[in-house]
Structure 1
């Protein structure tokens, strides 16, 4: 009986949490606090609790009467490194068809073993429950498979049991983008009979503002989702809510973010005016001289460079993104605060454990080598450096795939992803590279290849020219021309007109020599012609 009473109290508390402000109507398909939650079951959910009377929308699963569990693996990119058997593609396991009879080859089947299957969720998610459908009567192909995250075989979050009913639900409590199922098997091309044979994989997360194993509890975090299991918020609560899970409504005398504002401080036109726990709005209006919905601002004329209710604050002392010595009476920064500061006039540093723009980041969400509770309220920098796989001053940026080490150094030229710790290649180096990390280039450089090629071409051309010269000389088509020699011209040249062998060729250049040779040749030809003509004439006289 005591247990029943406790359950009744818990259910009542949850109902009160939702109905404190649910005295208004939401548009179709919405429900809950400020109508900020989606039904995910068409337009038929309860406007207060979100309970669905019908089926959930595609990709959503009902639990606790709500359709707030989303299958984030649906239609995402799936792959395998062990090949696919015939037309049993990896994408068949995330196509929304959970049929297990295998007809039409709607499942995935690896070609060889060891075998694996991976889905890319597109971004990091806090995971918890995974449902796997195996092909009917072939569950043994998936039995004892390991499930790990982010392509790290050492990060095993679940193992499928040896025998079970179909489908099987496993708990994978971790954060990741890539989810891999791996089965060792006997190995080899013929090992497809024991390789993975998966019909559908469903990976569930709660919709924003929902937590719990069945995604049936509500949290109201301001700028982030709450923890899937605990419901704790990393930052502030939305207006109207307070406590670590942001699941407790403001009382009747407080309102705003974390319920930090007091209703009594408002300047409403009617004392004790109703106080909206979200905005603190005065439904009767403000007293003369006071503004804003909650009637907490008064316009005054401060001297230049000052602001505030008593004009005691200096505009230049604010930590605005764009510093200025001029401001209005409120001192608000038009473009917001620099990192590490908060409030509208940016004069209050982030509270302990928070840092960054609008103090929206949590110190304990970093991936430092050491994890102190507090950190620099501006940068959140990790003094001792980052854990492996993370970079950035605050160690919140995950290294991209294909990098390793604390500085996310790019992997070498390996045929598979290198080890995230030391960058060693677990597979084979690509052609032209060697070393443990496949980062030693042994290819011949283009410059060296060009020089060698040019030298070969030059040698071949010289050989061809030399050979051609020798052939021309031997055939007589090319003759050597002797250098002109000096001496005294023989004056007794007769009537032939020839130049004696020892004639003086002083001051006769090569061109002159060629022209004289041509004259001599013409005279010889003419002399022979005259002899022939004389003989013809004599014969004609006889």
Structure 2
């Protein structure tokens, strides 16, 4: 009986432990588990990212997830309308008629198009499209996406093409299209449009538009921004460069990414300040400009004073001189006297 109690207690503890590590989340009837484990040194996630996030460090956000969408028309089959919102529901199945239905479908429009409106304006550069890959069409269904274009716009300007597909034959641009803007570079806006300019239907099984979380940059958003003067979240999410302003970097740093520490007796924002006359040309503090004060050594070279050793010292009569300099002078005098005595003794002998 006692052993049975112990077994039950251990089982309960195990369940409690798993509950702390895992949480159950339900989003639009899509059930999944999310494992929260992040390497403290590398930032890599050992489990799946929360729905709507992506990348090895789970710091790349899919800003299209569950956002407002429209398309040129809705195709219906088996009493079901394949509406535009199915492309941002988080499901990535590639078959149109696999249940639950998760792909959009228009009728034969010219042009056939699909649009998502984001919750804010972003620098759009990287995206992923899940293309239909079943064989229920006349020929491979995936080739209907041949020659598609992806454009970015907002309420104050017309659409600007970000990506143009050049596929003309075969089975299409691929089942999963991982792309970046190949026409214009990053485009700032809050609406993304995908269209085909031929008289055929447009099917999208999932569309993901990626932006980096604040303070990160790079293809997978796995790199940390430097020490920008406007804050780490101000860096360019593609290059990591801090805004070209004066100053660009926080105290103690310089460079385009503000990740280079001040060297060669420089300090301050953008390393534009020069260190004072620190004792024995020691490097000053890169942030404050203060000269270090080591045990047994003065802070400044002879003739200078202050924490930054910039101000010239005025040694007036009766003023005490730094003991370190006195000690150094006495030592030098002793050495000199010893040399003189030795020379005299050698000469006399």
> Does the CA-based 8 Å contact 2:124-2:152 persist in structure 1?
no
Give the superposition deviation at 1:158.
1.3
Q: For residue 132 of structure 1, what is the aligned residue in structure 2?
A: 129
1:60 maps onto 2:53 in alignment: yes
Query: What are the superposed Cα offsets for residues 58-108 of structure 1, whole Å, 9 maximum, x if unpaired?
Result: 32322xx53332222112221224345442221211121112223222121
Q: How much has 1:117 moved relative to structure 2?
A: 0.8
Is residue 158 of structure 1 aligned with residue 167 of structure 2? no
C-alpha spacing 1:134/1:239, structure 2 compared with 1 (3 Å): same
- Report the counterpart of residue 195 of structure 1 in structure 2: 201
Tell me by how many angstroms 1:222 deviates. Answer: 2.6
- Alignment of 1:117 with 2:120, yes or no, is no
Match of 2:38 among 44, 49, 72: 44
1:260, CA displacement in angstroms?
Answer: 3.7
Q: Report Cα offsets for 1:280-313 as digits up to 9, x if no partner.
A: 68998xx9xxxxxx978xxxxxxxxxxxxxxxxx
1:55 positional shift: 3.3
Runs of 5+ unmatched residues, structure 2: 1-33, 135-140, 294-298, 300-305, 309-349
Structure 2-normalised TM-score? Answer: 0.56
Deviation for aligned residue 1:118: 0.8
Report Cα offsets for 1:215-257 as digits up to 9, x if no partner. Answer: 3444322326333443322232233321122121223854443
CA distance in structure 2 between the aligned counterparts of 1:60 and 1:70, rounded to whole angstroms? 5
Pairing 1:330-345 to 2, within 5 Å after superposition: none
1:249 matched to 2:261: yes
| TM-score (ref. length: structure 1) | 0.38
Answer with 1 or 2: which has the greater Rg: 1
Contact 1:46 1:52 in 2 (8 A): no
Question: Which one of 206, 219, 229 corresponds to residue 213 of structure 1?
Answer: 219
- What are the residue-to-residue correspondences of 1:187-336 with 2, within 5 Å? 194-220=200-226, 221-223=228-230, 225-234=234-243, 235=245, 236-251=248-263, 253-261=265-273, 264=276, 277-278=286-287
Name the structure 2 match of 1:105: 101
Partner Cα separation in structure 2 for residue 218 and residue 142 of structure 1: 36
1:88 aligns with 2:82: yes
Aligned to 1:168: 177
For residues 95 and 287 of structure 2, the distance between their equivalents in structure 1, rounded to whole angstroms, comes to 53
Note closer, same or farther for the CA distance 1:145–1:255 as it changes in structure 2 (3 Å cut).
same
Deviation, structure 1 residue 180:
0.1
Structure 1 residue 276 displacement after superposition: 5.7
C-alpha displacement at 1:139, in angstroms?
Answer: 1.5
Q: Distance in 2 between matches of 1:281 and 1:146?
A: 57
Structure 2 residue matching 1:113: 3-state secondary structure: coil
Greater strand share, structure number: 2
1:144 corresponding residue in structure 2: 147
Match of 1:524 in 2: none
Q: Distance in 2 between matches of 1:229 and 1:44?
A: 23
Pairing of 1:411-422 with structure 2 (within 5 A): none
User: Which of 194, 205, 208 is 1:181 aligned to?
Assistant: 194
Residues 111-130 of structure 1: CA distance to partner in whole angstroms, max 9, x if unpaired?
A: 44132111112322222221
Structure 2 matches for 1:361-380, cutoff 5 A? none
Choose from 60, 63, 83 the match for 1:69.
60
The alignment partner of 2:197 has SS state of strand
- TM-aligned CA distance change 1:278 to 1:74, over 3 Å: farther
- Structure having greater relative contact order (Cα 8 Å, sep ≥ 6): 2
Paired with 2:108 and 2:130, the residues of 1 have a C-alpha distance of 20
Query: Structure 1 pair 243/71, CA: closer, same or farther in 2 (3 Å)?
Result: same
Contact between 1:92 and 1:106, CA under 8 Å: does it hold in 2?
yes
Aligned mates of 2:158, 2:38 — CA distance in 1: 44
The alpha-carbon deviation at position 164 of structure 1 amounts to 2.9
